[in-house]
Amino acid sequence: MPGRRALYPTTFRVDAPGGPVGGRTVGDGPPVVLVAGLGATSGVWGDLPFRLARRFRVIAPDNRGVGRSRDGEPFTIDRAVADLEAIASGHGVERVSMLGASLGGTLGLAFAAAHPGRVARLVVASCAARPSPYTRRLFESFRASLAGPDPRPFGELLTTLAFAPEFHRRFTGLVGDATALYGPDPDDLPGVLAQLDHLRSDWDVMPRLELIAAPTLVLAGRRDPIVPFEETEEIASRVAGASLVAVDDASHSVLLEGGREVLDRVVAFLDPSIAPNT
């Protein structure tokens, strides 16, 4: 169990080939990198880093183009992989575990394929390994909602899609709080648009998945309208030995919608010495 000081977050900034990247770190123990989704900074994780910090050293970067990583070259998946390598090296760790959600899951997969010896365990949620015609149209809609004079509707749209209808009904206040986390800072808009422009291009991580050597856990909500369940399910079938956890009533925010049961499974997977519900 970490000391009290270890539960207070600190910020970091490291130099990467595409320019400086930063974020927050908290906790002590085996290192776990949290990789956030589209347009998100480390703040999108809410209290999850602090919950994990009782077991792990949590490193939560801001993706290239936003937050503490605004400066430098525009976002690409390969550039983001180089950022993650610089972050791990900057923290003096050779091997890390990774937990990535949405775009963060895609980046986790790309990193684990590029650096199979540096990833101890990998958890990805609600992500795709290549764009489909459906997701390309969705990215176009996201970009249009951000390119207008008021970007706030993007946060509302993303929040609406990120949670299943029943979750909206049962946890209205929590969903309202999530809107503030999902809506981008106006200063981050150029970086978010750069992320979307890259995601609308012809990137493809699928052929790299066979290179992943780390034990991998894949989480997916069957009601996800952002990344359809079948696209995340395909990842589990392509990564050798991967396990798939399908949450029937969850949408895109499966880590939150899945509740304690899913979080316990993730924690136990990241550190097999920990029994669930401890």
Q: What integer is the mean pLDDT of 133-141?
A: 94
Q: How many helices (H) and strands (E) does the chain have?
A: 11, 8
Q: Residue 147: what pLDDT?
A: 81
Q: What integer is the mean pLDDT of 112-133?
A: 97
What domains appear along the chain, each with residue ranges and CATH number? 5-132+203-270 (3.40.50.1820)
Confidence of residue 174 (pLDDT cuts 50, 70, 90): confident
Phi, psi of 167 (to 5 degrees): -65, -40
Confidence of residue 115 (pLDDT cuts 50, 70, 90): very high
Q: Would you say 244 and 231 are in contact if contact means Cβ atoms under 8 Å apart? A: no
Q: What are the strands of the beta sheet with 31-35, ordered from one edge?
A: 10-16, 19-27, 57-61, 31-35, 96-101, 119-125, 216-221, 243-247
Write the DSSP string, 210-238. Answer: GG--S-EEEEEETT-SSS-HHHHHHHHHH
Q: Residue 2: what pLDDT?
A: 53
Structure tokens at 48: 């999850």
Q: Residue 277: what pLDDT?
A: 43
The CA–CA distances, whole Å, from 66 to 30, 43, 62, 102, 148 equal: 27, 11, 6, 16, 19
The answer to whether residue 73 scores a pLDDT higher than 50 is: yes
Identify the bridge partners of residue 218 per DSSP, sorted by sequence position. Answer: 124, 244
Share of residues in the chain with pLDDT > 90 (%):
83
Q: What integer is the mean pLDDT of 99-125?
A: 98
The answer to whether residue 185 scores a pLDDT higher than 90 is: no
Poorest-pLDDT segment among 116-120, 141-145, 224-228, 251-255: 141-145
Q: What is the pLDDT of residues 79-107, one digit of tens each?
A: 999 999 999 999 999 999 999 999 999 99
Poorest-pLDDT segment among 6-10, 174-178, 199-203: 6-10
Q: Residue 278: what pLDDT?
A: 36
Q: What is the pLDDT of residues 4-36, one digit of tens each?
A: 546 789 999 999 999 999 999 999 999 999 999
The answer to whether residue 150 scores a pLDDT higher than 80 is: no
Average pLDDT, the chain: 92
| Nearest-angstrom CA–CA distance, 248 and 152 | 30
The answer to whether residue 244 scores a pLDDT higher than 90 is: yes
The answer to whether residue 181 scores a pLDDT higher than 90 is: no
Question: pTM of the prediction?
Answer: 0.94
Q: What integer is the mean pLDDT of 140-154?
A: 84
The CA–CA distances, whole Å, from 49 to 6, 7, 73, 158, 175 equal: 12, 9, 28, 22, 19
